[in-house]
Amino acid sequence: MMIRSLREGIDYSTPTGRMVAGIFASLAEYEHTLINERAESARVTAPSPLPGHERNRSPRSRSSTSPRTCSSGRASSTRPVHDAVELEFRASA
């Protein structure tokens, strides 16, 4: 099978074309390795996450770790309340 790159003018059926393709492959591998090394260096030097925030994860909501409760006016029962909504129950007169 013969491959010929029309854009770069490389003919893989010749020894020179295979050499140029090998050089391009080596340069691509070198660049890939440099990118990985820079990314790892950035991860190591990045500031530590805030408490409750783990890397690449959203923080857990407060309601799932320590639910707040409210009591109704008629029957004293505890129920979890969402952080965004504060509810107050009163007995009807």
Structure tokens, 89: 């129950």
In terms of residue numbers, what domain contains 30? Answer: 4-45
Predicted confidence at residue 87, as pLDDT, reads: 45
In a domain, 21, yes or no: yes
The dihedral sign for the CA sequence 59, 63, 65, 66: positive
pLDDT mean for each 10 residues of the chain (93 residues): 73 88 93 95 80 61 52 53 47 49
Q: pTM of this prediction?
A: 0.45
User: Residue length, the chain?
Assistant: 93
Name the phi and psi angles at 89, rounded to 5. Answer: -105, 135
In a domain, 85, yes or no: yes
In a domain, 78, yes or no: yes
Predicted confidence at residue 55, as pLDDT, reads: 62
In a domain, 52, yes or no: no
Predicted confidence at residue 43, as pLDDT, reads: 86
Helix (H, G, I), strand (E, B) or coil at 7: coil
Q: Do 37 and 11 belong together in one domain?
A: yes
Predicted confidence at residue 39, as pLDDT, reads: 93
How many structural domains are present in the chain?
A: 2
Q: Do 11 and 40 belong together in one domain?
A: yes
Q: Do 8 and 37 belong together in one domain?
A: yes
